[in-house]
Amino acid sequence: MKNEEPEKDYTTEKKIKEAARKIFHQKGYAATKTRDIAEEAGINLALLNYYFRSKRNLFDLVMAESFGQFFFSIRSILNDESTTLGQKIDVFAKVYINLLNDNPNLPIFVLSEIQANPEWFQKALGLNKKMISSSALFRQIQEHLKKVGKEHINAFHVVLNMLAMTIFPFVGRPVLVKLTGMDDAAFHDFVNERKTFIPMWIKNMLQLTD
């Protein structure tokens, strides 16, 4: 019998999946060749189909995982009934920027694949109207906006601004880097500054003095 999980990252299956994730994130589904994945993983082309049946199947696995990271990883934060609005805003920026620092291509990958193939996501992932509007974050923003006399502002605007200010630097990263002359380290410092700036800006938007 085999020893219990010696180094899981070096199994052929893991190598292929990890290589696929890397190339898919970089190039997208259509531009990725199965031979590119095989080369990146350092394995024979046929092993890809041996372990994963098809390119599409492998992609679906990667996408499900990526989509989960992108969307569901922060749900527990935003749905936590025991934290204040100010706390949620603080922790969101920190956690999400950390996530994106580790997966800088994740946003464009997910969003462009959805744009190219919107029907697929309808059934594949269970996105529904309730997911945001029933969240604790959304309700707390609504309540706060009313308290400060700004109930004419749809709370979605505020949520969207949080997401936009956090995610967009990574979506526009290649252009931003060219446009500012930042190298990878400088970009890293720049977005990390935003961990404190974004909560400040959002609270300012809400006139939240917390």
Interacting residue ranges for DNA, rule: CB under 7 A: 1-2, 12, 32-35, 43-50, 53-56
Cβ-contact 199, 89 below 8 angstroms: yes
Give the tokens for residue 86: 């100010």
CA distance 208 to 148: 9
Task: Map the footprint of a copy of itself across residues 48-67, applying CB under 8 A.
Answer: none
CA 93 to chain centre: 12
DSSP class of 54:
S
Smallest gap, in angstroms, from Cβ of residue 121 to DNA? Answer: 20
CA diameter of the chain: 68
Is 73 one of the binding residues for a copy of itself (CB under 8 A)? Answer: no
Taking CB within 5 to 8 Å according to partner kind, which of a copy of itself, DNA, none is near residue 82?
Answer: none
Size of the site for a copy of itself (CB under 8 A): 52
Taking CB within 5 to 8 Å according to partner kind, which of DNA, a copy of itself, none is near residue 55?
Answer: DNA
* Contact with a copy of itself (CB under 8 A) among 48, 90, 169, 195: 169
Spell out the long-range contacts of 78-83 with Cβ–Cβ below 8 A and sequence spacing 24 or more. 78/135, 78/136, 78/137, 78/138, 79/135, 79/136, 79/137, 80/136, 81/136, 83/136
* Contact with a copy of itself (CB under 8 A) among 2, 4, 179, 185: 179
CA distance 53 to 63: 16
Helix (H, G, I), strand (E, B) or coil at 53: coil
Taking CB within 5 to 8 Å according to partner kind, which of DNA, a copy of itself, none is near residue 68?
Answer: none
Taking CB within 5 to 8 Å according to partner kind, which of DNA, a copy of itself, none is near residue 146?
Answer: none
Residue numbers at the binding site for a copy of itself (CB under 8 A):
26-31, 71, 105, 108, 111-112, 114-116, 118, 121-122, 127-129, 131-133, 153-154, 156-157, 160-161, 163-165, 167-169, 171-176, 178-181, 190, 193-194, 197, 201, 204-205
